[in-house]
Amino acid sequence: MNLPDIKCLVTGGASGMGRAFTLSLARDGADVAFCDLDEAGIAEVEAAGRDLPGKVVGFVANVGIEQDVAKLIGDAYDALGGLNALVNNAGIFRDGLLVKPDKETGVVRRMSLDKWNAVIQVDLTGPFLCTREFAAKVIETGTRPAVLVNISSVSRHGNVGQSNYSAAKAGLVADTKLWAQELARYGIRTGVVAPGFIDTPILQAMRPEILDGLVKRVPLRRTGSTEEIYLAVKFIFECDYFTGRCVDVDGGLTL
């Protein structure tokens, strides 16, 4: 697919990688709708995209809520005059060890079910709902071709303190493969990008000594940029013989 022919929805588009995807796609000529819960962030991204070649329009939506997603897909379709691409980017962290004995009391603390459910709802149920409604809209409108990209993580291999996040990101890779098989007959391709440590507000908020420790584990000895992750998303969009696979962009990091 050529980027000027793309009408794309990006979830979690008000900050970090989602913001970069939204503005980079519009810079390259695509029309982009994006969603987030941060209304001020939405307004800022819309303003940043005002003079770009592609259209940029934002919506408030929670990707973990079925009714929000159904409305979002319809609103994005109407705002762009069509919809043939999706980037499932929205995600959250609620890190913690599965169990951890208190050093003084010996009481075993447990990862709460609330932490587990919160991450699974946004990071796995969200992409499921968005992909389901996107695919249904594509089929109902006879739109061909179409493509969706899921954003996973190097943590899909299992990262200490991230039982919930690792499970969600591993699930996204598996779903990408099976959705490729289910949706190819309708002209829908799928792909997944698994970033490593990327220079976003989440990493920027870390204490320098902790960030330095993370970077030392990366063979390239640096964090990645949002633009480098966008290049992987762009490749999946533009390569019509790509589907059902994961592109790792992690500087060679092994967890």
Collapsing DSSP to helix, strand or coil, 86 comes out as: strand
Q: 186 an active-site residue?
A: no
**Contact between 195 and 229 (Cβ < 8 Å):** yes
Reading the block at residue 117, the tokens are 């459910």
Task: Tell me the CA distances in angstroms from 65 to 20, 127, 129, 130, 247, one per residue in order.
Answer: 24, 11, 8, 10, 28
Task: Output the CA torsion 184→188→194→198 (10° steps).
Answer: 170
End-to-end alpha carbon distance in the chain: 34
- Preceding omega of 201 cis (within 30 degrees of 0): no
Q: Which CATH superfamily is domain 3-248 in?
A: NAD(P)-binding Rossmann-like Domain (3.40.50.720)
Question: Where do the structural domains in the chain lie, given as residue ranges?
Answer: 3-248
**Beta pairing, strands 108-110 & 99-101:** antiparallel
Which tens digit of pLDDT belongs to each residue from 184-228? Answer: 999 999 999 999 999 887 778 777 887 888 888 899 999 999 999
Which tens digit of pLDDT belongs to each residue from 219-246? Answer: 999 999 999 999 999 999 999 999 999 9
At residue 211, the pLDDT reads 82
Q: How far apart are CA 17 and CA 221, in angstroms?
A: 20
At residue 42, the pLDDT reads 98
Question: When comparing pLDDT for 92 and 206, which is higher?
Answer: 92
- Average pLDDT value over all residues in the chain: 95
At residue 169, the pLDDT reads 97
| Residues 6 or more apart in contact with residue 190 via CB below 8 angstroms | 147, 148, 149, 150, 176, 177, 179, 180, 183, 243, 244
Residue 160 pLDDT exceeds 80: yes
**Contact between 145 and 189 (Cβ < 8 Å):** yes
List the catalytic residue out of 165, 186, 230, 241: 165
